[in-house]
Amino acid sequence: MELSDPQFNKSTFIKQLESVVYLFLVLPLLAFGWVFLEKDGNGSLRSVVFENPDLMFHGVMFIGVGYIIVRTTATWTRDVRRGTDKVKELDVKLKMLKKPIIYRNVLWALGAGIGAYGLYEKGDMIYALVFTLFLILITANRPSGRYFSKLLKLKGDEKKWMEA
């Protein structure tokens, strides 16, 4: 296992990255909570998806959601691995992953914001599902030793060090 900086503290790095990731979720989470409580309080939540739909609005919202999902899941992992394959030092690889992970989570927070906005505008519960989808993506892919071990396909000593 190679490190360019023997003083590199992976636990601190992971905790800081995790804090940044969850920081981006705060605003959509607050917005969704407020909108849901307001809509529920005045009885304007609708559980029927296409009962008097605004197809243009729903279409634009789902194009945005589709773009975010495709952009962050279809090729992201392959591109990240390809970008870090040439580097041997594990700490350098982790530092290289910081910006792509933040970018991906900003897009997922934007997707959660789309869910909150759709619920605000139309009151359709389908947007609660959109919000939940992005919430699951953010929490299931949070930075951790095990996550980085799987992402980088680490084996042997590198995997033990990362997951310790």
Give the predicted TM-score (pTM) of the model.
0.90
The mean per-residue pLDDT over the stretch 129-143 comes to 95
Q: Confirm whether 104 is domain-assigned.
A: yes
Query: What is the total count of domains within the chain?
Result: 1
Sign of CA dihedral 43, 24, 84, 6: negative
For residue 1, tell me if it sits in a domain: no
Q: Does 100 reside within a domain? A: yes
Let me know if residue 39 belongs to a domain. no
Which pLDDT tens digit goes with each residue over 64-121?
999 999 999 888 999 999 999 999 999 999 999 999 999 999 999 999 999 999 999 9
- Which residue shows structure tokens 């899941």? 73
Q: How far apart are CA 152 and CA 109, in angstroms?
A: 24
